[in-house]
Amino acid sequence: MERYDGKVVVITGASEGIGAALAEEVGRRGAHVVLAARTQGKLVEVGGRIGNHALVVPTDVTVRADVERLRDEAIAKLGHVDVWVNNVGRAISKPLLALTDEDVDTVVRDNVKSALYGMQAIVPHLVERGEGTIANVSSMLGRVPFAPFRSMYSAAKAALNSLTETLRAELREKAPRVRVVTVLPGVVATNFGLNALHGGPDSRTLPNAQDVGEAARAIADGLLSRNGDLFTRAGADKVALGYLEGLAKS
């Protein structure tokens, strides 16, 4: 189990779901956690469970200036950032042929632009320090789009995967100790599905949904050492590889 003693970890979307569970997990492992989301009340509740090592910074990550303010406040109060996790995302329940311009713009804003703002805000700081981790929480649907009603969500996460891999390539030579991680959870037992654009099934009721604490532990175990894909469930990497191999043979 990786320890986070004294590490400063910024997590967006930290008011509930994977973000809140990850914040509590790294907090138990000794991290100073910066909690970011739009809902201050929920952030305060999560911070209360973590204790004195939590800093609450209400943030709308779809606004670039807010993300930059989050970075500045974390550095001003804690000195630096070791790990930045772009965890905000939102699903959509609509097949491809029914998508509107507004649907596409909303899903790209929430899943791609929010993470892009985070990368552009914090990576120069990590490069200057010479080490650290930037992690983007994507989805297995970004690798294997097997849920047609999540059409645009899958596409947005695929775009996020590509941006993450591009950043990793950019930093490989000039900042080899800055890790760039793509987190790939499958179905996790949170209220994520209920919060989908146009509604959707409650992820907690879906068969074989992963416990959110288990997913958080898997992520926490890899943020300080991995540089690449981080699957939250054993065997998911083989599923993704099998899908790609199937495409190559079709």
Query: Quick check: is 2 in a domain?
Result: no
pLDDT class of 202 with cuts at 50, 70, 90: confident
Q: Does pLDDT of 207 surpass 90? A: no
Give the model's pLDDT for residue 95. 94
Query: Quick check: is 17 in a domain?
Result: yes
Query: Quick check: is 30 in a domain?
Result: yes
Domain hosting 71: range is: 8-249
pLDDT class of 1 with cuts at 50, 70, 90: confident
Query: Quick check: is 3 in a domain?
Result: no
The sign one gets for the Cα dihedral 112, 117, 123, 126 is negative
Residues 39-80: tens digit of each pLDDT: 999 999 999 999 989 999 999 999 999 999 999 999 999 999
Sheet holding 8-12, edge to edge: 54-58, 32-37, 8-12, 83-86, 132-137, 178-184, 229-231
* Number of domains the chain contains: 1
Instruction: Check which CATH number belongs to the domain holding 74 and give it.
Output: 3.40.50.720
Query: Quick check: is 68 in a domain?
Result: yes
- Look at strands 178-184 and 132-137 and give their pairing: parallel
Residue numbers annotated as active site: 153
Give the model's pLDDT for residue 206. 86
Give the model's pLDDT for residue 248. 87
Query: Quick check: is 1 in a domain?
Result: no
CB 49 within 8 A of CB 26: no
Query: CA distances (Å), 176 to each of 170, 202, 239, in order?
Result: 10, 40, 29
What average pLDDT does the segment 165-174 reach? Answer: 97
* pTM score, whole prediction: 0.96
Query: Quick check: is 235 in a domain?
Result: yes
